[in-house]
Copies of this chain bind each other. A is one copy, B any other.
């Protein structure tokens, strides 16, 4: 076996073990008995240590060095090598005692956050968050990024992206989106989201299985289960989505399942023979999110989608939908309302929640904002951007788990994903003109095949910005998202 093949074999073995760790997490959220948490924590810690040690063996480093010196690799192999180097450096340049200290601190930080949110007490959590920012800076410094720690973290989630690019894109977005939100909210037309009640969970489940299978999710290589918060984990060989059910909010589980299906379809579309290397790995969080959002929003909130599904939906829930007109249903699917909570927000206002978080993160890392001043700045900016001042910190600065885990630079991906989804959506319609009429007939194959061809099969060959250029012929920007939101929402709310 040659050196490259040997490296690939090692990477695949490490990936398979990493996926065992991920399965432990999945199982914890889906199956774990209530009192089995302590033992699972021991198992997870032992597995993490094993995976870390496997991924940092000197043998892996030696193979990488050898290949870097030999130079006889094609472009795909070069990508695999470069990404393997990046992963290896990240794992080996950060000292073990720092990793241990950080893990211990983050565990405390998580509990401090959960307590602070429950008790609406930012001050008790502030020292932990302050330390999280410091740890994030230190970690960046270990990788030679002491001067641009925030860019380091953005790149961790979206390779090739940086704060300056995001700032430029988000500024354009904000200018257009703030008045658009205002216009929709000022409309006398309001969606009635309370008209859908008493949807039996079993029937919701069988309906969403029918929908997600029709969209193309391969249940021969995947599952959907229930968990407190929906998520998608696993890989192309075994993709595991979750959802949750509310009898009085059936659109929640339906749309979050379609969202997770978008993630799942991406994973299932990555080249199977390359799973475990960069060629079989997603191109970052923004691209991942573009897939979930495109299916959830552009596809599943469209007139055409509901032209096809409305009759089956009414068949599954005849009494529940008897008093709901088609227009009321479609308006409920596309409800817009200001909400202080990001995860409860619609696809229009959601992006402003992200802009807010990005501006705060950037200020924190630029040194223009201290953790102590974060709540007041959150509230001020929230009023400025969203037109809404949270009633209390638990509905404001304390609402998200991310910062408690030192996951800075992650929030922008959500909005970048929305931008990319809209951009892909128009490119799809240009390149496959019949796509909307096919959707209206319940044929989702053209959407999936196009995404497979343009996005999925490339693995990490194209990160968000190159993907945008290559597939849509344009730089990633706010334009398509604004166009999409205007085309979808203004006719509805005018």
Contacts and interface: CB of A to CB of B under 8 A. Distances in A.
Interface stretch (A16-24, A94-102, A178-186): A16-24
Contact of A24 (B20, B35, B220): B20
A32 B225 CA distance: 12
A46 B13 contact: yes
Contacts of A47: 17, 20
A35 B223 CA distance: 11
B220 A39 contact: no
A275 B38 CA distance: 13
Contacts of A220: 33-35
Nearest to A219: B33
Chain A contact-residue range equals: 20 to 34
A88 interface: no
Interface string A10-47: 00110011011001100100011111101110110011
Contacts of A34: 220
Given A31-B223, A33-B219, A223-B33, A237 B50 contact: no
Contacts of A31: 223
Contacts of A43: 16-17, 19-20, 23
A39 B237 contact: yes
A132 to B, nearest CB: 28
Nearest to A32: B238
Contacts of A20: 20, 24, 43, 46-47
A221 interface: yes
B237 A38 contact: yes
A340 to B, nearest CB: 36
A222 interface: yes
Copies in the complex: 2
Interface in A31-73: 31-36, 38-40, 42-43, 46-47, 50, 54
A473 to B, nearest CB: 37
Interface string A351-373: 00000000000000000000000
A190 B429 CA distance: 72
A278 to B, nearest CB: 18
B42 A221 contact: no
Nearest to A23: B27
Contacts of A223: 31, 33
A251 B258 CA distance: 40
Nearest to A239: B33
Nearest to A35: B220
A33 B218 CA distance: 10
Nearest to A42: B16
A142 to B, nearest CB: 27
Contacts of A42: 12-13, 16
Specify which of A19, A23, A36 lies most central, judged by the most chain B CB atoms within 10 Å of its CB. A36
Contacts of A13: 42, 46
26 contacts: A13-B42, A16-B39, A16-B42, A17-B43, A17-B47, A19-B43, A20-B24, A20-B43, A20-B46, A23-B23, A27-B27, A31-B223, A32-B238, A33-B219, A33-B221, A33-B222, A33-B223, A35-B218, A35-B221, A36-B221, A36-B222, A38-B237, A39-B237, A40-B238, A50-B50, A50-B54
Given A13-B42, A33-B219, A36-B221, 12 more contacts: A13-B46, A16-B39, A16-B42, A17-B50, A20-B43, A23-B27, A31-B223, A33-B222, A35-B220, A35-B237, A39-B237, A39-B238
- In order of increasing CB-CB distance, the 7 nearest A-B pairs are A39-B237, A36-B238, A35-B220, A16-B43, A16-B46, A35-B221, A16-B42
Interface of A: 12-13, 16-17, 19-20, 23-24, 27, 31-36, 38-40, 42-43, 46-47, 50, 54, 218-223, 235, 237-238, 275
